[in-house]
Amino acid sequence: MSSLSDRELVWMALSDLFVDHHINHEQIANQVAHLTISEVEQILFHEVAPVCMSNLLMPTPTVCEKFSENYVLSSMQQHLAKMQSNGFYHRKVLLKAKFYKVFLKQDWLKLMARMRRAQKKQANELQNFDF
């Protein structure tokens, strides 16, 4: 059993969009499908992207397979603390989110489609389940 909170598991799943390797959109979608698309969009573009995007912007990305749990969790905590305490930083993140949405458009569209499919499957399974 994982000792990570639900939010931390979502961060780890979404960080996989920023690796320099094949991205498994289906797997990521299954890990975040319990959230709404707007919740995932908020977490992706305002929390995870500001921490992980630099990997994709490097000429030779340093993270190819998977971000380390320690890096993601500690960086996310620092990022969120800074967003709460520094209004300028918070506004900068909001502006950069527009860039992230353009840069990640194809991955985001794939992830949303797979999330919808996973959510529909979950709803059908619940509907067919006898209580």
The pTM is what? 0.89
Q: Which of 16, 32, 1 is nearest to 68 (CA)?
A: 16
Q: What is the dihedral of CA 114, 118, 123, 127, to 10 degrees?
A: 130
Helix, coil or strand: residue 40: helix
Widest CA span in the chain: 54
- pLDDT per position as a tens digit, 39-87: 999 999 999 999 999 998 888 777 878 999 999 999 999 999 999 999 9
For residues 15-38, average pLDDT: 94
